[in-house]
Structure 1
């Protein structure tokens, strides 16, 4: 794997189809971290794109799980952030492990700060300029420049000039 304009620590475990990874100039991914790019469960859209100047802290857990994860430019992801592109189905009457995966991936805009110990679940869309407080669980839509906190994350403020 060669990303000449990005820094990836030696102890980042990147598994799966690395041809589906696009890293912008100046991306830094620190380890130990895990990045998994696998299709499965009926989904075939695994892809990871990270925009220029984005920092990913230690103990990150990024799993495409058959769906795309897009992270914008100049973002900060604190330590122990988890982002997952899909989930297992939960229909009654069939074992969870046998159910198809569901999810449309995750989209994160530019200039977003996701603080430590945050989980971003499948289907989340985080607008540019948003700030996500530590220990939050993000699902659904996050407006641009929103400050979010909690589990599930709720808007608690807004970035202003």
Structure 2
């Protein structure tokens, strides 16, 4: 029985396993990834580093001027949706069903960041003035920045204009509406500091 298709599904849901594959599985997995990535780079303004994994069900949209850059040894799991401009560092994990929209100012994700399943980052916002529908309001974009070694828990949301500084952690289902200091753990809606990471 050929388990290759089942392995592809497993890797798409849990892409960290790609980096633990035995040589016999790499004989099909590497060409599979090469094909996915070459096709993506031909269709979108995407730059992909070395040893990257991108699930075939990931939705990656990068029109000219909305480039997406993916650093070495990073992975994007199944059903994640990315719309540039987005700059992703090295050793970054974006897990399944995460949604990132760079607006016009962009999303910057530094090395070693972890974005858990269903996390969502929107680097834009609509005006809220009364007297006209939301769809007619002006759109603003300040950008979002995740510094090195930031971890976003499952279902965490990050709003436009926020920086999570080095080593920050945002708990499951929190909504981060303001900057988070280095090595600070936040939780809740809106997210508030609850602890510090200790060395």
Using structure 2 for the length normalisation, give the TM-score: 0.73
Structure 1: any 5+ residue segments left out of the alignment? 38-46
State the alpha-carbon separation in 1 of the partners of residues 179 and 150 from structure 2. 14
Task: Detail structure 1 runs of 4+ shifted over 4 Å in the superposition.
Answer: none
> 1:60 Cα shift?
0.6
Where does residue 79 of structure 2 map in the other structure? 32
Aligned 8 A contact 2:49 2:73 in 1: no
Which one has a larger percent strand, Structure 1 or Structure 2? 1
Q: Which protein, 1 or 2, shows the higher relative CO under an 8 Å CA cutoff with sep ≥ 6?
A: 1
Which one has a larger percent helix, Structure 1 or Structure 2? 2
State the alpha-carbon separation in 1 of the partners of residues 49 and 180 from structure 2. 33
Where does residue 44 of structure 1 map in the other structure? none
Structure 2: any 5+ residue segments left out of the alignment? 1-39, 42-47
Where does residue 21 of structure 1 map in the other structure? 68
**Residue-by-residue CA offset, 1:53-112 (whole Å, 9 max, x unaligned):** 000000011111222100110011100000000011111112110111123010110001
Where does residue 30 of structure 2 map in the other structure? none
Q: Radius of gyration: which is bigger?
A: 2
**Residue-by-residue CA offset, 1:33-58 (whole Å, 9 max, x unaligned):** 11123xxxxxxxxx200110000000
Where does residue 161 of structure 2 map in the other structure? 123
Match of 1:80 among 118, 126, 133: 118
Bigger Cα displacement from structure 2, 147-156 vs 59-68: 59-68
> 1:117 Cα shift?
0.5
**Residue-by-residue CA offset, 1:102-141 (whole Å, 9 max, x unaligned):** 2301011000110101010101110010011101000111
Q: How many residues are paired up?
A: 152
State the alpha-carbon separation in 1 of the partners of residues 138 and 78 from structure 2. 31
Where does residue 58 of structure 2 map in the other structure? 12
2:156 is aligned with 1:143: no
3-state DSSP of counterpart to 1:148: strand
